[in-house]
Amino acid sequence: MAKLLTIGKKKVVISLVGIENQTRPDKNMPAQVMNYDAAAYPYQLTKSKNLYPVLTLVVYYGKEVWNYSRNLLGSINMKKLPEKMRPLISDYEIKAFYRISDLSAKELNQRFKSAFFCLAEYFIQTNAVGDACL
């Protein structure tokens, strides 16, 4: 299903918006996001004359700091790969990553206008209380 996104006066067609909700850091998240995005294109190739963007958002609610890479090359072991071959390996980066507990109240109000605001606010407060008890 294609969605029309309006930003200011610009209209952008997005074929799929996926939201990956995470409560724990995951070292394989760049590969998972790449897989989600790539899986949306074969359908477009068979059903449409045009390709439209696919957007996957990763929303992290956990208390732990996300210490894993947000790009594929940072997630895979390339130690044994010869230096000359490394530039030939395609990278994939998670472009839309939000750690909810890092948002200030002002940022929260600016970014979220729907019922998701209440959920995000809950996680911010829960994580703040947990951190204060340490």
pTM as predicted: 0.73
Q: Cα separation of 32 and 19, whole Å?
A: 12
Give, for all 134 residues of the chain, the pLDDT tens digit: 556 666 778 777 777 788 888 989 999 999 999 999 998 888 888 887 888 888 898 988 888 889 999 999 999 999 989 999 999 999 999 988 888 777 777 877 777 766 666 767 776 666 654 443 33
For residue 122, the tally of other CB atoms under 10 A from its CB is: 12
Identity of residue 98: Y
Contact 21, 28 (CB under 8 A): no
